[in-house]
Amino acid sequence: MEGGRVPMTSRPIAPRGGPVSPAATPEEFERELNQLTLGGEGWSAILRRLAAHTGHAAWLFDVHGALLATSVPPGTEAPSVRASDVAQVFGAERPVPLTMSDGRPVRAAAVRADRRRFGIALLAEPVPPAVVPYLLAATTALAIEAVRRDAAAEAGSAAGADLVDELRCGTLRAPDDLTRAAARFGMRLDAPHAGAVFDYDGPHVRAWATALPRAGVTALHQGRRAWTVLPGGEDGELERLRARAQAVVGDGVVRAASGPVVNGADRTAHSFREAEVLLALLLRRSSGRGDELVLPYASLGLAQLLVTVPPERLREFVERHLGPLLPREDLIRTLRAWLASSGSRTAVADALHLHRNSVGYRVGQIKTLLGVDPLDPEAIVLLQAALTAQELLLALDEHDPVVGGWFSDRPGVNKRP
């Protein structure tokens, strides 16, 4: 046959909306579609065969709700599906009814392989119960094609991942050479940009290994971490990319941090280095709460200054201003809450689940041990800086002890772990 296609079996085609042909069981239909896929046919051919066999128009959307393929000629504007609806499909045991952005009602089934989520397959309503098994049968072939495309994309993106690793860790290559190399992968190092690092805490590690490339960016994945370059000056880009990666893995939590916006290939490693520190800080802040998912460099405040200070100098500063409190974690927590609430006993009591009298007693201990009033304007600045420095040091010790050594590297070059 033309193009090496596997010949289709001749079976009656049901009228639109009518029952499927009794000549093919769902199992037979699944084998037929799998043969089409293995013979080189793509998503559109699978959907056309599904539509012809069932009499219902068919669509395939990715995990973000964007149209991948359809059995019908595209209109002036491609339909889409809400990301929340996609999540609903993956959370259901059977196909569920949805409405596309163009108002058309459809029945949707998840397309997945093992724990990797690829998208959802849809048939136009009304879909009688007899047709549902054929929709489910088609998801296998659609997943096979998705795996094939992912494998091809992974092979093609290996060079891009190596380049991101080079940008992250520092290089001896000339900046102009790096800039030209990065441009081939859509990264503009001669324009404002920032290094970003992602962390995945969840069960679907195989799906995570392709999450960022499937979200449309050149990235390096190593274990539960991933790195990429973000264009600078685009508010919300870090969260947008994190959300797209989250949609790929489904279960678990993706968190992300970005470094300062820089210009020039010789400064990219510096941005990655500070993004690593911010991610460690984010993981510490999120421990036990899980409600903070992104930490852009622009949101740091005072920590923007402290993140560039070598650890030994930070430790000296913390010891000088908080030394007597360091063995007392209860007093450190009280001081943080006291400063955050501008000295409100009620707010501190609520935050730490203490009696107001206990708050007053602890604050009295703090004054005695430090020899300063924690609400004195000059003292507040120093104590807040010391608490922030301590938080940075604890974050590095708990989540990324190797990163602590990067503070003292020469600017723009990181050590490889």
- How many Cα neighbours within 13 Å face the side chain of 45? 18
Name the band, by pLDDT with cuts 50, 70 and 90, for residue 302. Answer: confident
> How many whole angstroms separate alpha carbon 357 and alpha carbon 34?
72
Local structure of 6: helix, strand or coil: coil
Mean pLDDT to the nearest integer, 277-289:
78
Torsion of CA 324, 330, 331, 332, to 10 degrees: 80
Name the least confident of 124-128, 145-149, 187-191. 145-149
Q: For 113-142, write each residue's pLDDT tens digit.
A: 877 788 999 999 999 999 999 999 999 999
Domain spans of the chain, in order of start = 2-151, 170-300, 306-408
First to last CA, the chain: 54
> How many whole angstroms separate alpha carbon 263 and alpha carbon 250?
34
Name the band, by pLDDT with cuts 50, 70 and 90, for residue 408. Answer: very low
Predicted TM-score (pTM) of the model is 0.61
Which residues have a Cβ under 8 Å from the Cβ of 133 and sit 6 or more positions away? Answer: 26
Q: How many helices (H) and strands (E) does the chain have?
A: 16, 10
Query: Chain centroid to CA 403: how far?
Result: 21
Which residues have a Cβ under 8 Å from the Cβ of 44 and sit 6 or more positions away? Answer: 69, 70, 71
Q: Which CATH class is domain 306-408?
A: mainly alpha
Cβ–Cβ < 8 Å for 294, 256 = yes
Q: Which CATH class is domain 170-300?
A: alpha beta
The β-bridge partners of 108 are 96, 122
Q: For 307-330, write each residue's pLDDT tens digit.
A: 778 888 888 999 999 999 989 989
Cβ–Cβ < 8 Å for 393, 307 = no
Name the band, by pLDDT with cuts 50, 70 and 90, for residue 412. Answer: very low
What's the CATH code, domain 2-151?
3.30.450.40
